[in-house]
Amino acid sequence: MPRIPEAELARLKSEVSLERLCEHYGMVLRRSGRNLVGKSPWREEAEGSFIVTPGKNLWNDMGAGGEGGDTIKLVMLMEKVSFRRACEILREMLGAVPEAPRVKTRRGTAHAVLVDPGAVQSDRDVMRHVVDFYHQSFCNDAKAMEYLQKRSCFHPEAVKVFRLGYANRTLGYRVPATTAEGRKLKEQLRRLGILRESGHEHLSGSVVVPIFESGAGGEASAYPVQLYGRKIIHNLRAGTPDHLYLAGELRGVFNAAALEHQKEILLCESLIDALTLWCAGLRNVTTIYGTKNFTPDLWAMFGRVRPERVVLCFDADAAGDEAAGKYAPRLAELGAAVLRAKLPPGQDINDVARTHARNPASALATCIERAELIVSHGGEAAPPVGGEPARHVAMVVDEVTGEPLPIVDYQSLTTGAGWCPAPFEPASYDEVQAQREAASSSLAASESAAKKEEPAAEPASTQPCEPMASSGDEHVFTFGERAWRVRGLAKNLSFETMKIQLRALRGDRFHLDTLDMCNAKHRAGFVSQAAEETGLAADILKRDIGAVLLKLEELQEANIRKTLEPAAREISLGAGEREAALGLLRDPRLLDRLLEDYERCGIVGETTNKLVGYLEPVRKRRDLKRGSTKPVILQHFCARGHHNIWTF
């Protein structure tokens, strides 16, 4: 028996997700830092000792003396099979091609067929066999995978979860027309829409995404009810559509099993867009089938799940705007707040991912994070913000969202480079200033009117960088659904350090750590860990922690200045003491009385210096109140020729 190639073993160890494999065997894992922890499947445990490291796709059973390994070792132990059989099981999980059924002709030759010719196959069974065949073709043809990689919507896990396929024009070879069973199967495939009347495959040359039937509880069955095909070749005849479905009713819900009990659902316009978001880590996603096809199955799913928020990730074009306005009110009737993802003009979700191919997850998360409210929970349309933008004012455009941003350099201001629709017509300084003042006054008026319409019980909106709640040495900052808590700031009485306890919270997921906010490495490490723990994009957390740092610097400076201020001593005089003091100051013999007091204290001689020793502190106290002081040098001589110098 030939040896399994090292490249094949490496593929089985890396492409099969160990986390999903553990879930397949019924193990419940919880996140602990960078690892996942669960109870060992081979013994009873009160606390979990089975460690999974997703980054390396390795496991370790600490309760068994540190025994561990990779996916092959886990399958061997769980299934109690040999090394070679474990590799075969993993190949099946990846969709490798099993041996196809064969039919023999009268001449004795054998031909591979799609289904067993001796078995009676229902339409559902035939559809399942077709999906399996397309899936096997996908896993054994790099062309389809390369296409999805170029479109930034490929992930090995998605291939298995959604049974992605590829129609490479070989299905017809599995339907022999020389036998009665083959002709019957061919007619059945024509009726289902898999084959056209000419005998050619309907989805030929396409990546195939099957849509499976879902049960009453949202669980997906093994039977597909619809197939979507996306052409991957470009030299097509004029008029050939790029997007294809099987003829008949559009049924099923994409990614239905992952949508149950979700508080937020992302709704796309096409399957490619939904697959792009899923591969970027946004798993709570589904799709309609074009702007005009919101199917009854999809409405039934929304009626059953009842999410709190629905983010419409439709294309940023006229058709997407029309669809958003059409479906948003009805979704709001189901109790959901409906938002619209902020995409660059004329682009869709997949365009954003391809434009930012180095980090598509961050770009897509930014678009979702900046989603704008269309209809609130009560079905009320969101009020417009601000007035018309000032015309002819030079601006640059955000590379992700397409939003205009203020210009910052003279060249762009005078030439319009990087922002403007040609031809550029720069405005004069006076015109720009007038337009900005008009826009500011219009915005202020709209905000004032909005505040008047609000009920008195509504609190005023707070700037994101201000602490939303402070209690003693604890400050809480909120940015939408994200909350940041800071403790221990008061003990930092030096501008060189800012050691605090910081917690980033999103829903029921959080990250807590102690760090020095003045240390860039500490902040970067916190952002990296918080992104993994909370599931938020690192860019979003980086922006939040920057705003928190700026506000903490203000609070720290105020605290240091307050601590260094000398405590004010208030001296109160009684009625008798006050009269005696005023009497001393008004006495014409004030200087004589001072000298007499010095003599009673044992200080003799140096009459002038003794008077200066009294008058100088009085003058200095008066000057301190006025904010200015001047030093005085006092020199003392004795009869023996010695002298001393004092400075006040």
C-alpha to C-alpha distance for 20 and 42, rounded to whole angstroms: 18
Residues near 18 by beta carbon (within 8 Å), at least 6 away in sequence: 52, 54, 57, 58, 59, 70, 71, 74
Beta bridge partners of 381: 375
Alpha helices in 163-295, H assignment, sequence order:
180-192, 271-279
CA-based nearest residue to 399, from 479, 316, 343: 343
- The answer to whether residues 467 and 475 touch, using CB atoms and an 8 Å cutoff, is yes
C-alpha to C-alpha distance for 168 and 201, rounded to whole angstroms: 9
The mean pLDDT value for 384-405 works out to 46
CB burial of residue 41 (10 Å; 0-12, 13-18, 19+): middle
Q: Which residue has the higher pLDDT, 646 or 299?
A: 299
Residue with tokens 């200080």: 603
Q: What percent of the chain has pLDDT over 70?
A: 76
Which tens digit of pLDDT belongs to each residue from 545-558? 999 999 999 888 88
C-alpha to C-alpha distance for 437 and 50, rounded to whole angstroms: 64
pLDDT-based confidence at 395, cuts 50/70/90?
very low
pLDDT-based confidence at 419, cuts 50/70/90?
very low
The mean pLDDT value for 593-607 works out to 82
**Residue 225 scores a pLDDT above 70:** yes
Q: pLDDT at position 640, please?
A: 61
- The answer to whether residues 418 and 398 touch, using CB atoms and an 8 Å cutoff, is no
C-alpha to C-alpha distance for 312 and 639, rounded to whole angstroms: 100
pLDDT-based confidence at 48, cuts 50/70/90?
confident
**Residue 417 scores a pLDDT above 70:** no
C-alpha to C-alpha distance for 261 and 304, rounded to whole angstroms: 9
Which tens digit of pLDDT belongs to each residue from 280-301? 989 999 999 988 889 999 999 9
Residue at 115: amino acid letter: V
- The answer to whether residues 214 and 223 touch, using CB atoms and an 8 Å cutoff, is no
**Residue 394 scores a pLDDT above 60:** no
Which tens digit of pLDDT belongs to each residue from 158-180? 998 899 999 988 887 777 776 77
C-alpha to C-alpha distance for 491 and 497, rounded to whole angstroms: 10
267 backbone dihedrals φ, ψ, rounded to 5°: -115, 115
pLDDT-based confidence at 375, cuts 50/70/90?
confident
pLDDT-based confidence at 392, cuts 50/70/90?
very low
**Residue 311 scores a pLDDT above 90:** yes
Q: pLDDT at position 92, please?
A: 75
The mean pLDDT value for 219-240 works out to 80
Beta bridge partners of 318: none
- Going by the DSSP 8-state scheme, the letter that residue 99 receives in this structure is P
373 backbone dihedrals φ, ψ, rounded to 5°: -70, 130
CA-based nearest residue to 360, from 271, 278, 265, 284: 278
**Residue 126 scores a pLDDT above 90:** no
The mean pLDDT value for 233-245 works out to 81
- Find the angle CA(458)-CA(460)-CA(341) to the nearest 5 degrees: 90
Q: pLDDT at position 15, please?
A: 86
- Going by the DSSP 8-state scheme, the letter that residue 571 receives in this structure is P
Please provide the size of the chain in residues: 648
Q: pLDDT at position 458, please?
A: 35
Distances in Å between the Cα of 95 and the Cα atoms of 136, 142, 391, 634 are: 6, 14, 57, 99
pLDDT-based confidence at 587, cuts 50/70/90?
confident
**Residue 634 scores a pLDDT above 90:** no
**Residue 229 scores a pLDDT above 50:** yes
**Residue 635 scores a pLDDT above 60:** yes
CA-based nearest residue to 482, from 434, 544, 527, 525: 544
Q: pLDDT at position 386, please?
A: 40
Q: pLDDT at position 260, please?
A: 84
pLDDT-based confidence at 526, cuts 50/70/90?
very high
Q: Which residue has the higher pLDDT, 265 or 48?
A: 265
Question: What is the token pair recorded at 369?
Answer: 């994070």
The mean pLDDT value for 618-625 works out to 73
Q: Which residue has the higher pLDDT, 645 or 165?
A: 165
Q: Which residue has the higher pLDDT, 384 or 109?
A: 109
Q: Which residue has the higher pLDDT, 29 or 218?
A: 29
The mean pLDDT value for 565-589 works out to 81
pLDDT-based confidence at 279, cuts 50/70/90?
very high
- The answer to whether residues 243 and 205 touch, using CB atoms and an 8 Å cutoff, is no
The mean pLDDT value for 295-310 works out to 91
Q: Which residue has the higher pLDDT, 636 or 617?
A: 617
**Residue 266 scores a pLDDT above 90:** yes
Q: pLDDT at position 542, please?
A: 92
- Residue 526 in 3-state DSSP? helix
Average pLDDT across the chain, whole number: 79
- The answer to whether residues 79 and 38 touch, using CB atoms and an 8 Å cutoff, is no
pLDDT-based confidence at 248, cuts 50/70/90?
confident
Concatenate the DSSP letters of all residues of 147-164 into one string. HHHHTT---HHHHHHTT-
The mean pLDDT value for 197-210 works out to 89
The mean pLDDT value for 1-26 works out to 83
- Going by the DSSP 8-state scheme, the letter that residue 4 receives in this structure is P
Q: pLDDT at position 123, please?
A: 84
Alpha carbon distance, N-terminus to C-terminus of the chain = 103
Q: Which residue has the higher pLDDT, 35 or 631?
A: 35
The mean pLDDT value for 358-380 works out to 84
- The answer to whether residues 50 and 27 touch, using CB atoms and an 8 Å cutoff, is yes
- The answer to whether residues 203 and 229 touch, using CB atoms and an 8 Å cutoff, is yes
Q: Which residue has the higher pLDDT, 513 or 112?
A: 513
597 backbone dihedrals φ, ψ, rounded to 5°: -65, -40
The mean pLDDT value for 78-85 works out to 84
34 backbone dihedrals φ, ψ, rounded to 5°: -85, -5
CB burial of residue 240 (10 Å; 0-12, 13-18, 19+): exposed
Please state the three-class secondary structure of 207-225 as a single string.
EEEEEEEECCCCCEEEEEE
Distances in Å between the Cα of 359 and the Cα atoms of 149, 365, 400, 537 are: 13, 10, 12, 10
The mean pLDDT value for 121-144 works out to 85
Secondary-structure breakdown of the chain: helix, strand, coil percentages, each rounded to the nearest 5: 40, 20, 40
